[in-house]
């Protein structure tokens, strides 16, 4: 039987991942209105990733006989004043998600829940990639975003991103 604190944190993480999807759809919507369909695509793909992360936690809890409780998903609370704002908000959000994953890992470690720690190893690595991607987008926007041709090329590149589902065995 799974430790109830660990199960609760995993259950809460489902909601946090769905919130992340909402947040990234908000960013996609912002970029669509700004005429930056590549940025819109990038964040729509990002939203799909977050929904799949939620489903990985969902499936893991189900596989371990734990009851899942869904909570309301909060409306994204962000001020998007310019094209850089979503990028900076995304980095801050990914750092927050990393702290949540670390908290779950610490709780699992405390009760020697090695199976959950093994699951979380994948998420720890994933969060490193997420933070790097978010940081790299900020750097690239700072370098090229003020130049119309550079912004066009960056937007085109982001428009080519496609979703690849995670290959994680639960």
Query: 117-164 pLDDT, tens per residue?
Result: 999 999 999 999 999 999 999 999 999 988 999 999 999 999 999 998
Confidence band of 166 (pLDDT split at 50, 70, 90): confident
Q: Could you confirm whether domain 4-70+83-159 is CATH 3.10.180.10?
A: no
**Quick one: 37 exposed, middle or buried, by C-beta within 10 A (0-12, 13-18, 19+)?**
middle
For 64-94, give the DSSP string.
TT------PPPPP-----STTHHHHHHHHHH
Query: 16-39 pLDDT, tens per residue?
Result: 999 999 999 999 999 999 999 999
29 touches 136 (CB < 8 A): no
Confidence band of 84 (pLDDT split at 50, 70, 90): very high
What pLDDT is recorded for position 169? Answer: 66
Report CA-CA distances (Å) from 117 to 60, 73, 84, 122: 12, 26, 35, 9
Of 71-80, 84-93, 101-110, the one with minimum mean pLDDT is 71-80
Confidence band of 170 (pLDDT split at 50, 70, 90): low
Query: 35-51 pLDDT, tens per residue?
Result: 999 999 999 999 999 99
**Torsion angles phi and psi, residue 68, rounded to 5:** -105, 130
Q: What is the pTM of this model?
A: 0.94
């Amino acid at each position: 039987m799974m430790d109830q604190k660990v199960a609760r944190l995993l259950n809460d993480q489902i909601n946090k991942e769905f919130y992340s999807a909402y947040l990234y759809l908000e960013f996609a919507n912002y970029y669509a209105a700004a005429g930056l369909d590549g940025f819109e695509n990038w964040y729509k793909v990002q939203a799909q990733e977050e929904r799949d992360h939620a489903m990985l936690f969902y499936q893991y809890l189900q596989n371990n006989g734990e009851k899942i409780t869904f909570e309301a998903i909060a409306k994204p609370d962000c001020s998007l004043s310019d094209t850089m704002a979503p990028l900076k908000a995304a980095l801050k959000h990914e750092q927050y998600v990393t702290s949540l994953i670390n908290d779950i890992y610490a709780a699992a470690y405390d009760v020697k829940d090695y199976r959950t720690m093994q699951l979380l190893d994948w998420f720890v690595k994933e969060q490193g990639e997420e933070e790097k991607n978010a940081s790299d987008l900020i750097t690239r926007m700072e370098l090229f975003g003020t130049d119309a041709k550079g912004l066009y090329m960056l937007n085109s590149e982001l428009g080519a991103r496609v979703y690849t589902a995670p290959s994680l065995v639960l």
